[in-house]
């Protein structure tokens, strides 16, 4: 319930005013059944924009730190993540990350929408970096899930990295045709998905990951 209250009443109207989103391809989002939304990642506001424009509630992997913060901001972040059903992820890797991907699989098996940024973190330079393979591994664990590439543009102008507050701008969101990632090597399927995202944004996918120090 809280997700829809936030979307339509408390937060969504503010996000819409700042971003003035132009959206294409929403008809490609199935009304029912498991869906993976795989998007490029330019700004912290990206998840709010996707939640605003998508016709269904997306579930994101949220940094575990959002659930551990102290003070008023920590409590607010913890409540917001919990109220919107986000999935905490431990970025230290190993079994902890596998548990989070398992939780994403559970969302899909329940017929939900899982939203993921295959780059793993926000791009520090506006370019489309190499995608991590987790999205393909989850897609293969739930083969009935539809995998949709999504291209975001303009969010970094609204929410510039390192700057407090938002600036009014114009954001574009394009939902592409489904990508079949069930065949071939996991790495090759991941690269195929990243190329599909790049075609929507005009970005040329890079062959290296976001540098760890920028995460």
What tens digit of pLDDT does each residue of 47-75 get? Answer: 999 999 999 999 998 776 666 667 777 77
Mean pLDDT for 154-163 is 93
C-alpha distances (whole Å) from 31 to each of 34, 112, 156 are 10, 10, 29
Mean pLDDT for 31-59 is 96
pLDDT higher than 70, residue 122: yes
Question: How many Cβ atoms from other residues are within 10 Å of residue 178's Cβ?
Answer: 16
24 domain residue, yes or no: yes
pLDDT higher than 60, residue 214: no
Number of structural domains, the chain? 1
Mean pLDDT for 146-174 is 95
12 domain residue, yes or no: no
> Can you tell me which residue has the tokens 């059903």?
85
β-strand pairing of 35-39 with 146-153: parallel
CA distance 91 to 204: 26
The whole-number pLDDT of residue 193 equals 98
Closest C-alpha to 37, from 117, 119, 142, 123: 117
DSSP helix/strand/coil, 31 = coil
Mean pLDDT for 162-189 is 96
> Can you tell me which residue has the tokens 């998508």?
54
- Token pair for residue 53? 């424009």
The whole-number pLDDT of residue 213 equals 55
CA distance 188 to 39: 18
CA 93-96-98 angle, to 5 degrees, is 85
103 domain residue, yes or no: yes
Of 34-38, 72-76, 125-129, 156-160, the least confident: 72-76
13 domain residue, yes or no: no
- Whole-model pTM? 0.91
The whole-number pLDDT of residue 2 equals 87
Find the CATH number of the domain harbouring 158.
3.40.1130.10
169 domain residue, yes or no: yes
The whole-number pLDDT of residue 215 equals 42
Closest C-alpha to 48, from 27, 17, 69: 17
11 domain residue, yes or no: no
Q: Which of residues 64 and 84 earns the better pLDDT score? A: 84
The whole-number pLDDT of residue 159 equals 96
- Token pair for residue 77? 């972040």
51 domain residue, yes or no: yes
182 domain residue, yes or no: yes
Mean pLDDT for 39-54 is 96
- Token pair for residue 162? 């390192």
Structural domain boundaries enclosing 60: 2-6+18-214
CA distance 67 to 46: 19
The whole-number pLDDT of residue 61 equals 81
CA distance 158 to 49: 11
Mean pLDDT for 2-8 is 92
């Amino acid at each position: 319930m809280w997700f829809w209250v936030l979307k339509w009443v408390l937060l969504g109207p503010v996000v819409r005013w700042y971003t003035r989103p132009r959206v294409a391809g929403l008809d490609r989002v199935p009304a029912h059944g498991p869906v993976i939304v795989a998007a490029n990642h330019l700004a912290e506001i990206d998840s709010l924009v996707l939640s605003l424009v998508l016709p269904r509630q997306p579930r994101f992997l949220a940094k575990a730190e959002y659930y551990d913060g102290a003070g008023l901001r920590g409590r607010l972040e913890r409540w917001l993540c919990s109220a919107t059903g986000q999935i905490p992820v431990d970025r230290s890797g190993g079994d902890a990350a596998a548990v989070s991907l398992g939780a994403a699989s559970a969302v899909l098996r329940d017929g939900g929408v899982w939203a993921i940024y295959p780059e793993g973190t926000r791009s520090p330079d506006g370019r489309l970096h190499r995608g991590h393979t987790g999205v393909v591994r989850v897609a293969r664990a739930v083969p009935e899930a539809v995998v949709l590439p999504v291209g975001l543009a303009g969010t970094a102008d609204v929410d510039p990295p390192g700057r407090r507050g938002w600036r009014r701008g114009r954001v574009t969101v394009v939902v592409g045709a489904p990508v079949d990632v069930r065949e071939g090597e996991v790495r090759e399927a991941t690269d195929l998905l990243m190329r599909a995202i790049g075609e929507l944004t005009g970005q040329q996918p890079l062959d290296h990951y976001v540098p760890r120090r920028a995460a």
